[in-house]
Amino acid sequence: FFCLVIFVCVCALRLALWVGPCSASRGVRGRRFEQRASCVMSTFQEAPPGDLKAGEKIFKTKCSQCHAVEKSAGHKQGPNLNGLFGRQSGTAAGYSYSAANKNKAVVWGEDTLYDYLLNPKKYIPGTKMVFPGLKKPQERADLIAYLKESSSS
């Protein structure tokens, strides 16, 4: 019995060391603590600087199917993101938003977008947006850098 208790304790300790609060830290020897720390960044101010080119790639692969950023482009499945920064949620003319998005009445900025992009359904419960979010702080910072540049023209 004593051996079984020790075995369970050792297994639990190993699991606690290998499985961190974010999926990026799982199973990567030597770098797990560094990556775990990067996943804890909870505000935009703590995030790494965004890379415009990386953000453009993220937008094209994960966002452009539903959103456009060009001023002349119309809405797709999601609203056009041109003029996003400084705009209140649920107010882009011509797009049919969910009541949840309208009622949230958040003004989009770097901080609010950083929080939203982590988990849109948690940030605005009841939103129509099906995107699961970007868990990596660097990806969120990159996408925000791209959106800030491309949606302001």
Residue with tokens 């929080």: 115
| CA distances from residue 151 to 12, 18, 29, 73 in whole angstroms, order as listed | 48, 40, 40, 11
CA atoms within 13 A on the CB side of 11: 6
Question: Given phi > 0 = left and psi -120 to 50 = alpha, else beta, which region is 152?
Answer: alpha
pLDDT of residue 21: 43
What contacts 151, CB < 8 A, 6 or more positions away? 69, 81, 82, 83, 84, 85
Distance CA 81, CA 5 (A): 56
pLDDT of residue 6: 55
Print pLDDT tens along the chain (153 aa): 545 445 445 444 454 444 444 444 333 444 443 344 444 457 888 888 999 999 999 999 999 999 999 999 999 999 999 999 999 999 999 999 999 999 999 999 999 999 999 999 999 999 999 999 999 999 999 999 999 999 886
Whether the Cβ atoms of residue 144 and residue 110 lie closer than 8 Å to each other: yes
Numbers of helices and strands, H then E, in the chain? 7, 0
Return the SS3 of 45.
helix
